[in-house]
Structure 1
């Protein structure tokens, strides 16, 4: 699935659509350069899942944990790690996470669970180009549900 996000509201709408169609357990790899919108998308998804209060960027803490239906959502930002072995000290093997949102996943290597969904964001003019790709059967089903919802939303907007 490839689309253009004209502004932060469009990025938030994508996060909301992903939240509404989220499977019970999923791993999302968020890829893109600095400023591409990874944290904005993660924040929108978490907010749509009912997280209230501050949603902090895990740039310095490496991981932020949030209660969501069914367990915890873990938002990781691995930009500052030097070696994937550093992840051992974060306690990520506890099993409480039902949703992993991982920024800079390439730095975590094999220490991370495989992605169900890979979201690649790129700055394009004043907006963002986003490409969502399934990494598993769960991811394929998730993308299908998200695309169907987007089509439904578009038809409702056109008829309104």
Structure 2
């Protein structure tokens, strides 16, 4: 699924729309260049989950937890180069948790990615950005079908 994002507000709105249909245990793997909107999308997701504190990039702390309708686990792997070092973070506990897990720079997990997740690639496009959403697993395929009803064709 492709969604056109004209600005940061549209990116946050996509996060809010996702928050409305995500269930506990959902995993979002975000990728894209620096500044492409990964944290902005997460901020919208947090707002949609009812998180009331500011959401910032957890680049230096690696993992931040927020409380909303469901817990939000915001993980940023930008500073980690070695995929095996990521195992020390206990990511599998977050992936099996009762909250919503968002992993920025998730493509760095390579072989350690869970079998089922929603992959979101944010990229620059003329006049804005584009989000490419790919479902891995039946639950995420259903999630994308729900999202299409909300955002319409092409976003």
Query: Fold-level match, TM-score > 0.5?
Result: yes
Query: What are structure 2's unaligned runs of at least 5 residues?
Result: none
Which whole-Å deviations, capped at 9, do the CAs of 1:7-61 have from their partners, x for residues lacking one? 1111111111101111232111111111111110011101110111121211111
CA shift, 1:84, in A, is 1.5
The SS at the match of 2:74 is strand
Q: What TM-score do the two structures reach when normalised by structure 2?
A: 0.87
**Structure with greater Cα Rg:** 1
CA-based RMSD of the aligned residues comes to 1.9
Question: Counterpart of 1:132?
Answer: 133
Contact 1:74 1:97 in 2 (8 A): no
Question: Counterpart of 2:54?
Answer: 54
- What are the equivalent positions in structure 2 for 1:1-160 lying under 5 Å apart? 1-70=1-70, 72-94=71-93, 95-151=96-152
CA shift, 1:93, in A, is 4.1
Quickly say closer, same or farther: Cα 1:75–1:97, change in 2 above 3 A.
farther
Query: What are structure 1's unaligned runs of at least 5 residues?
Result: 155-160
Once superposed, which parts of structure 1, at least 4 consecutive aligned residues long, lie more than 6 Å away? Answer: none
Contact 1:116 1:137 in 2 (8 A): no
Which whole-Å deviations, capped at 9, do the CAs of 1:93-131 have from their partners, x for residues lacking one? 445452111111121233342342111111113310111
What is the count of residue pairs matched by the alignment?
151
Quickly say closer, same or farther: Cα 1:93–1:2, change in 2 above 3 A.
closer
Q: Distance in 1 between matches of 2:76 and 2:115?
A: 16
Q: Distance in 2 between matches of 1:140 and 1:134?
A: 5
Contact 1:23 1:142 in 2 (8 A): no
Quickly say closer, same or farther: Cα 1:130–1:17, change in 2 above 3 A.
same
